[in-house]
Amino acid sequence: MKNKIDYFNLQTQNRMELVEKIAIDETLKREEIAELAEHESSMVRHFVAQNQNATEEVLARLAKDACFEVRNSVACNGNTSSRTLEKLSNDCNAAVRYSVACNHNTSYEVLVRLMHDTEEVVRRFATMRIKMMGGNNQ
């Protein structure tokens, strides 16, 4: 067995090390990802939210995180459900709402609402996504 990384004692000073070992680590089991989603470091939770093996349950929980970077990573994750994306579309942070508009799991209805967002960049991208969908409710 390869050396197992002790994520809970991993120093969070080296960002790239965390990306490699948490966000991209496909060997992490669902239980380990769920446990790391509760880590005290927002940086660890941020990278957990990027992991493509994160379950919808973990992503839904991280979508409520106090740290906007964590919520933004959830909004970017291709495994995030349309229901969680709908909740994130009301986020107080424009970067999170922009990421919701970028996610291909975001529903047509949410994109239509984001076309009227307070931030121009969110409105523009939501409009572009609607046009890419052919302007049809899909």
Distances (CA, A) of 136 to 107, 112, 120: 11, 11, 22
What mean pLDDT comes out for the span 13-17? 58
Distances (CA, A) of 127 to 95, 118, 134, 135: 16, 13, 11, 9
Rounded Cα distance, 50 and 136, in Å: 30
In one-letter notation, the amino acid at residue 34 is A
| pLDDT of amino acid 67 | 98
Classify 3 in phi/psi space as left (phi over 0), alpha (psi -120 to 50) or beta. beta
Whether 3 maps to a domain, the answer reads: no
What mean pLDDT comes out for the span 26-31? 85
pLDDT tens profile 42-75: 888 998 999 999 999 999 999 999 999 999 999 9
Domain count along the chain: 1
Whether 39 maps to a domain, the answer reads: yes
Whether 92 maps to a domain, the answer reads: yes
Whether 138 maps to a domain, the answer reads: no
CATH number at residue 43: 1.25.10.10
12 pLDDT above the threshold of 60: no
Q: Which domain covers residue 41, as residue numbers? A: 10-132
